[in-house]
Structure 1
Amino acid sequence: MNVQHKIAVVQGLNLFYREAGNRNNPTILLLHGFPSSSHMYRNLILQLEDDYHIIAPDYPGFGNSDQPSMTEFDYTFEGIAELVNAFVEQLNLKQYSLYVHDYGAPVGYRLAVMHPERVQAIITQNGNAYEIGLESAWAPIQAFWQNPDDAAVRQGVVDLLSIAITKLQYVNGTRNPQSISPDNWNNDQIHLDREGNQEIQLALYYDYQNNLKQYPTWHEYFREYQPPVLVAWGKNDMFFGVKGALAYMDDLEDVDVHLLNTGHFPLEEDLDISVSLIRDFLKRRLWTV
């Protein structure tokens, strides 16, 4: 076990990241989802560090990274992707496999479009890239896109930041909710409850509509560059449904799709299965282990 907890100063911001493994091994860039941070990868990193070089950053406003004000940082997915790209370049990561979850997908796929030559493979766990994948739980956010100034609509998305919903994202759709550690949602909620964080999360909720506008660009990237893709999807996800997982087969030739009987955070209940799938997938694509 040799996980390092580091800070990189990127464009004047302190970005926290976890690093493990030997830099001579292939790199996996782990991009976290909402409402988590690199904390969601703590167990996965330990399983992969012997054979891979692992990098897992926290975005601004998440986890242990800085939380600049709304005037100091562009809290959009484009803004986050540009910062993560600068972080990748600062760490001199020439090539990597992308692992994307939830918010990590719109960040990671922007990176892939910016620098397709860097991406050796993609692992998506509930990282959506197709409109058909959006489930009914998105209704409050979609209403917010249409009427951001309506007080009732705004309250509907504020309610999504409550501890009850944070917990629900971890336990909904799981086979055994009692097996999921409350440390997950309690840790996330500490950061969501920071002064000023609510406005940051609302800005990202509102900006998510621009990810949908990028979907055709990402599909074109898939079709043109044909990266090998592993889809290891929690099929009971309340936000990103099975149709979004299967849709990857529309644009990719080398794609493995596995539907796991769990919820939004497959690593919590199906870590061993996920590790096995990732190891087998990367072994056959990267010829390393």
Structure 2
Amino acid sequence: MTVKSLISAITQQEDLNFLLTNRIPRAAVTRFMGWFSKIENPLVRDLSIGLWRLFSDLDLSEAKKTHFKSLHDCFTRELKPGLRPYDPDPNIVASPSDAIIGAFGTIREGELFQIKGAPYSLADLLGDPALVEAHRNGRFVTLRLTSSMYHRFHAPHDCHIDEVRLIHGDTWNVNPIALKRVERLFCKNERAVIRTHLKSGDALTLVPVAAILVASIRLHFLDLVLNGRTRGPLNYPCDVDVKKGDELGWFEHGSTIIVLAPAHFEFCDNVTEWGRIRAGEPLLRIS
């Protein structure tokens, strides 16, 4: 058995995985990771990326550049041009990111679920009664970005960004093991609520959820980095038009994006639980 397969076998043990990734000082470890990942030292960079490869399926063959200044530079890497074309069909809402598809389905009177049998409410997730009403019986899909994935996310459709709300919270791991054990996990973690609407007036909301080791969420259209140390106003009114595929920002590690859409949007055939999807591929169809 190789070292990598041994590590994989150990981390697949649910009790041990949960202990190692959650029963630690999550906020402190996350702050440390934010600092450590930006160290521009060749030895630190090479050792960090080497360990990352050992613990994951990291593949840098799609990266735009082959030399990185730091671990952070590698985390937030761009891809070679043309690798994530966005579906041009105006009736398609595309995936904003590379991801593993988690729970998805119909929101029932403001209730959705993080995994089967583990419900949570839109009110707790969004903290905005008007937005809750807009999505009360709509659609939702959970997109989980693993640590080795491309970490940038993009506009899923031509839309107008109305507001971003930062909601401070914890940094629980967002892997399936934690989702089974921590009730209402997405409502407890640090997150940004990006409220947008399409030209039709339909509400389309993205909720990037931070997790342990995710030091921040970068939003280009606000020129802001949002994290647990963000102070001052937590609501950011916006007046920004974006085109499908425009880069909105990045995570500094793997995490989750919850997409909320109207009831008359239908899931595309390629959307299956635990299936993989790439940025730009069909996610929802406007019917």
TM superposition score normalised by structure 1: 0.26
- Flag the structure with higher strand content: 2
- Flag the structure with higher helix content: 1
Higher RCO, 1 or 2 (CA under 8 Å, sep at least 6)?
A: 2
